[in-house]
Amino acid sequence: MLIGLGIRDVVLIETLDLSIGPGLTALTGETGAGKSIILDALGLATGARADAGLVRQGRSQAIATAVFAPPPTHDVWTYLEDKGVAFERDEDLVLRRQLAADGRSRAFVNDQAVSVSVLRELGEMLIEVHGQHETVGLLDSRTHRPLLDLYAGAENAAGAVARAWAGWREAREAAEALRRDAATALAEREDLALRLAELDRLDPKAGEETALAEERALLGAAEKTMGDIAAAQEAFAGDGPGGKLAQAFRALERARERALQAGAAADSAPVRLISQASESVDRALVEAQEAASAIDAAAQAFDFEPDRLEKAEERLFALRALARKMGVAVELLPDERARIARTLHTLEDGEQAQKEADARAAAARAAYFDAARALSDLRKAAAERIAEAVNAELPPLKLDRARLRVAVAPLAEDRAGPTGLDRVEFEVSTNPGAPFGGLGAIASGGELARFALALKAALAGRGSGAAPLMIFDEVDQGVGGAVAYAVGQRLKRLAREGQVLVVTHSPQVAARAETHWRVSKAGGADQVRTAVEVLTDKVREEEIARMLAGAEITEAARAAARALMHA
């Protein structure tokens, strides 16, 4: 639903902010007052083609902002998500367009810059326009099938067709892929067998390259470490530090014994110093023996096989060479082995696998055509009902000589798709005996707008048939009296389910509105502005009386206006 429209410097409108509610809103005013400017501004905000002439004279740019409040389930949110636009589903959707005087424009969604095409596609999802010069949707026959499906209540059947189509396409592509792979594998069978033999012989394992590289680095370091430990062992071997310390200890012990035998006192300075030296050497001897034992233990801890490094390097280099030959990374060699094995297995069992795949594709095709034919039956039955319903709406709209029919034509199998096997088009004949043809080729602007109204009236009560906002621009032009009253009735009926905005010169239509806007010009010759006034009931009565009577409003006109408003 459209809840707000902001206009800045668009043609005759300097500043205008409109709040828009549900139901039927009527725009009235004298010809040339600027009613079309409001629709132009709304079109500008929703991505319509922009002309620099929309910029108010003397201003650098025009700005139009449309604020919508779509429900959380509306398709616009999925569309914005696909486009990468940030949003919150419980917040308003703000579309804004800036048009410079040189014709360049910028587009924004929730203050995020987007392309104009994004605004236009959002506008097509949020608004329908039906008028003298433009009827969005109905002229495009691609919109006719969804409308027919809606009237037929065929949403479930259409969903079943789409799912069946997806299943058929998937099964068909799988069978074709199997056929292509088998043909390719057959031509390469000998080469594949040789490749598999090489892979089987080497038997690569997942993660093996990383493990071998780490082992190679570790073994390279271990070899150098063993060399250093061996040097330490050699330093302690034979008469190394331990042997020399033992000799020194024995010599000092002999020196102490001789000093005591010579009569030196045990506590004399020479004997005491010799004893201290002997004790120190003894401690050093114990430490040296412990050091030698520790060095031996360290050597035993490094249980190093001299050819282990060589084996690891050979294995690593062999894996890398085979990976280059196969044209894959080393870590993918196990996957390549499995793929080749599967391909060869497919060749061996290919005929049976192909038969099974073709059978699945055939079953999926049959399921699709069953679902599509069931949907076609629903469409054909609904085509008669919708034509009858629309044709019943035409006489009150001064289209009593016209007839609508819905053509449901079968498509060739090669044109089958997720929407089924039917080409659907609304066709019209405007006079008895005249041939039926497309809406755009036969109906005039006013007739086309009234056809749209009749179709929407026939669809009323069918769920999501109405867009959040439907705009009817002078749909009542050239008609009056009972026809205008019938137009107003149908607009009122549509507005019960959605939101309708009508630009009208007909008092019978304006009287049906919940909200009434009067558009007028103000200012002098040098400074003309368009103003919009939301009318109270009393002023609205006067406006409808003016529309009935013209320049001079009589009491009879006022009475007629009151009667229309309360009819």
Q: Which residues contact 26 (CB under 8 A, 6 or more apart)?
A: 502, 504, 509, 510, 512, 513, 515, 516, 517
Residue 60 has pLDDT above 90, yes or no: yes
% of residues, the chain, pLDDT over 70: 93
In this prediction, residues 328-334 reach a mean pLDDT of: 91
Distance separating alpha carbons of residues 488 and 482, to the nearest angstrom: 10
**pLDDT per position as a tens digit, 43-57:** 999 998 888 999 998
% of residues, the chain, pLDDT over 90: 37
| 8 A C-beta contact, residue 153 and residue 335 | no
pLDDT grade, residue 465 (50/70/90)? very low
DSSP string, 428-460: EESSTTPPPEEHHHH--HHHHHHHHHHHHHHHT
In this prediction, residues 470-480 reach a mean pLDDT of: 79
Q: What is the pTM of this model?
A: 0.62
Which phi and psi angles does 109 have, rounded to 5°? -125, 120
pLDDT grade, residue 381 (50/70/90)? very high
Quick one: which H or E segment has residue 183? helix 155-187
Residue 134 has pLDDT above 70, yes or no: no
Of 486, 419, 483, the residue nearest 158 (C-alpha) = 419
Residue 353 has pLDDT above 60, yes or no: yes
What is the distance in angstroms between the CA of the first residue and the CA of the last residue of the chain?
27
195 alpha-carbon distance from chain centroid:
43
More confident residue, 300 or 356: 356
Distance separating alpha carbons of residues 425 and 437, to the nearest angstrom: 9
Helix/strand/coil (H/E/C) assignment for every residue in 370-390:
HHHHHHHHHHHHHHHHHHHHH
**pLDDT per position as a tens digit, 90-120:** 889 999 999 999 999 999 999 999 999 999 9
Distance separating alpha carbons of residues 528 and 388, to the nearest angstrom: 49
Of 194, 205, 216, 183, the residue nearest 325 (C-alpha) = 194
- For helices 155-187 and 189-202, angle between their N-to-C axes, nearest 10 degrees: 80
Residue 206 has pLDDT above 50, yes or no: yes
| 8 A C-beta contact, residue 221 and residue 347 | no
Which phi and psi angles does 84 have, rounded to 5°? 75, 25
Output the pLDDT for position 419.
93
Output the pLDDT for position 301.
66
Give 108's DSSP letter.
Answer: E
Output the pLDDT for position 461.
65
Residue 370 has pLDDT above 50, yes or no: yes
Distance separating alpha carbons of residues 271 and 290, to the nearest angstrom: 29
- The residue extents of the domains of the chain are 158-378
pLDDT grade, residue 459 (50/70/90)? confident
- Distances 381 to 106, 240, 385, 388, 422 between C-alpha atoms, Å: 47, 112, 7, 11, 13
Range of weakest confidence among 8-12, 88-92, 443-447, 550-554: 443-447
Residue 463 has pLDDT above 60, yes or no: no
Of 305, 308, 330, the residue nearest 319 (C-alpha) = 330
More confident residue, 467 or 522: 522
**Across the strands, what pairs with 63?**
8, 98
- CA geometry: angle 514, 519, 525, nearest 5 deg: 170
Residues of 531-541 as b/e, b for ≥16 C-beta within 10 angstroms?
Answer: bbeebeeeebb
Average per-residue pLDDT for the chain: 85
Distance separating alpha carbons of residues 450 and 246, to the nearest angstrom: 124
pLDDT grade, residue 466 (50/70/90)? very low
**pLDDT per position as a tens digit, 240-299:** 676 777 777 787 778 778 778 877 777 888 778 888 888 888 888 888 888 888 877 877
The token pair that represents 332 in the structure block? 């993918």
More confident residue, 535 or 348: 535
Residue 136 has pLDDT above 70, yes or no: no
Distance separating alpha carbons of residues 468 and 109, to the nearest angstrom: 18
**pLDDT per position as a tens digit, 169-201:** 999 999 998 888 777 767 777 888 888 999 999
pLDDT grade, residue 140 (50/70/90)? confident
Distance separating alpha carbons of residues 500 and 332, to the nearest angstrom: 63
Residue 41 has pLDDT above 90, yes or no: yes
pLDDT grade, residue 417 (50/70/90)? very high
| 8 A C-beta contact, residue 510 and residue 547 | yes
In this prediction, residues 122-141 reach a mean pLDDT of: 75
Distance separating alpha carbons of residues 69 and 468, to the nearest angstrom: 9
Residue 360 has pLDDT above 90, yes or no: yes
- CA geometry: angle 548, 554, 555, nearest 5 deg: 105
The token pair that represents 3 in the structure block? 């809840």
Of 138, 39, 32, the residue nearest 502 (C-alpha) = 39
Residue with tokens 């804004």, as numbered in its chain: 96
Output the pLDDT for position 93.
95
In this prediction, residues 61-67 reach a mean pLDDT of: 96
The token pair that represents 419 in the structure block? 């929407």
